[in-house]
Structure 1
Amino acid sequence: MSSVLHPVGPEDKGTYWRRRLVVVLALVVIVVLAGVGIKALTTSDDAAAQGPTKLDPSTVTTTQAQSPTASPSGSPTGTSTQSPGATASTQTTTATATTAAGACPDAALEVSLTTRATTYGPGKAPNLVLTVRNTSGTACTVETSSAVRVLTVTDAAGATVWSSADCQTRGESVTAELDPDGTRSKTTTWSRQRSEAGCPTGQAAVEPGTYTVAGSWDGVDAAPVTVALTG
């Protein structure tokens, strides 16, 4: 112990203390380097533990997710595999069903006659409205051209003074489909003039008085109405 604290030798004491200091410093450097090396190894192990784990491809099961827009039929694009021809066929069938209604039988038709007013003053022409109604439970078609609508006006003595048939000509057939309880209405204006077969011009106006108007639609009669002409 005394030799450590009090070096003995041919050299002076300072030389021995410097040598011992060098040895101590070398030991300190060795210890520091050893500590750094141990820390580096520890950090490397921690990083390896925290890094992503590589999977063995042979142990991975791949599941293919079905596209949310894929159609039930399995079409790869997710669109319907129904052919355009099928859609066209459906539309054609619908259109055919719409136009397949037959002509309304007379028993299914109810015709009514109304007038906008019961009394018409000087220069006022009566407006006469014929309405046809489908009373059946199924749709059917009815002729609507003017040739099938006839209005006749008679005076108090029962003589015919005007008829829409005198000036009507049979034109192109026009039909309309009536749903159950469906109706069609047509208005005719009587100019208060007389008429004759062949529709000659220059007919005189009727005298003031009460007149009876009868009407029919395609052979089905309506209940008559009366109008009073004044002035």
Structure 2
Amino acid sequence: MSSVLHPVGPEDKGTYWRRRLVVVLALVVVAVLVALGVRALTTSDDAQAQGPTKLDPSTVATTGATADATTPGATPTGTPGATPSGSATAPTATTAAGACSDQSLAVTLTTAATTYGPGKAPNLVLTVENTSQTPCTVETSSAVRVLTVTDASGAQVWSSAHCQTRGESVTDQLAPGQTRSKTTTWSRQRSEAGCPTGQPAVEPGTYTVNGTWDGVAAAPITLALTG
């Protein structure tokens, strides 16, 4: 202990004290540097442990979109009153269509068979089609549909107009290409104006059927009645 407090050597005491002071200062600097390093490591660990958890932006975006799309009653975000992009536009009111012109109508006459045996009554089908590019209305009551049957000599033997009464007007709207069909059964009896009852049946033979719908004529068809 005496050699520490009282240096012994060939040099003067000041030299030994200066050397010892340099050593002590060096030790102090080393100790300070070690302490600072330990503190820095500790602070970094604490900050990493206590810092907020980072969210994956792609996960956040996906979660938000799914909630808007699947949550019942969810209200789209954005400016109040604004129409969401891509949403359907409210349908506009449909204006009433005008009456079909004769040029916009095509009428066809058909039947299930070309030959009818004894007791078989032909069902005659008139079909009207809107051939225009716009909707229009067509009269569909029986009063505007007329069917006539003529024999081989061209004499008229039956007409649906003989027993038709003009009732209430009935109209249907037809879209472009849309059709309406009406069926009339011919009992194979003759008819006369005023629709008298007890008319006789026609004889077996070949007959031609013509049909019109509101004045528009269909191509005639031919029937053969047997028995």
Query: Under a length normalisation based on structure 1, what TM-score does the superposition of the two structures give?
Result: 0.61
Q: How far does the alpha carbon of each residue in 1:161-214 deviate from its partner, in whole angstroms, 9 at most, with x for none?
A: 100000111111111111112111111110001111111111111111111100
In structure 2, the gaps of 5 or more residues are: 1-45, 51-63, 69-74, 84-89
1:185 maps to which of 181, 186, 189: 181
Partner of 2:152: 156
Matches within 5 A, 1:91-110: 93-94=92-93, 96-97=94-95, 100-110=96-106
Q: Helix, strand or coil: the match of 2:154?
A: coil
Report the AA paired with residue 228 of structure 1: A
Report the AA paired with residue 118 of structure 2: P
In structure 1, the gaps of 5 or more residues are: 1-49, 54-66, 83-89
Give the whole-Å Cα distance in 2 for the aligned partners of 1:213 and 1:115: 10
Q: Helix, strand or coil: the match of 1:147?
A: helix
2:140 maps to which of 138, 144, 147: 144
Give the whole-Å Cα distance in 1 for the aligned partners of 2:178 and 2:124: 20
Partner of 1:211: 207
CA-based RMSD = 3.3
Give the whole-Å Cα distance in 1 for the aligned partners of 2:172 and 2:77: 43
What is the CA distance between 1:73 and its match in structure 2?
A: 6.1
2:115 maps to which of 78, 98, 119: 119
Report the AA paired with residue 190 of structure 1: W
Query: Under a length normalisation based on structure 2, what TM-score does the superposition of the two structures give?
Result: 0.62
Q: Helix, strand or coil: the match of 1:223?
A: coil
What is the CA distance between 1:74 and its match in structure 2?
A: 5.3
State the identity as a percent. Answer: 73
Q: How far does the alpha carbon of each residue in 1:34-56 deviate from its partner, in whole angstroms, 9 at most, with x for none?
A: xxxxxxxxxxxxxxxx9xx9xxx
Q: Across the two proteins, how many residue pairs are aligned to each other?
A: 166
Report the AA paired with residue 151 of structure 2: D
Max Rg structure: 1
Matches within 5 A, 1:1-231: 70-72=75-77, 93-94=92-93, 96-97=94-95, 100-231=96-227
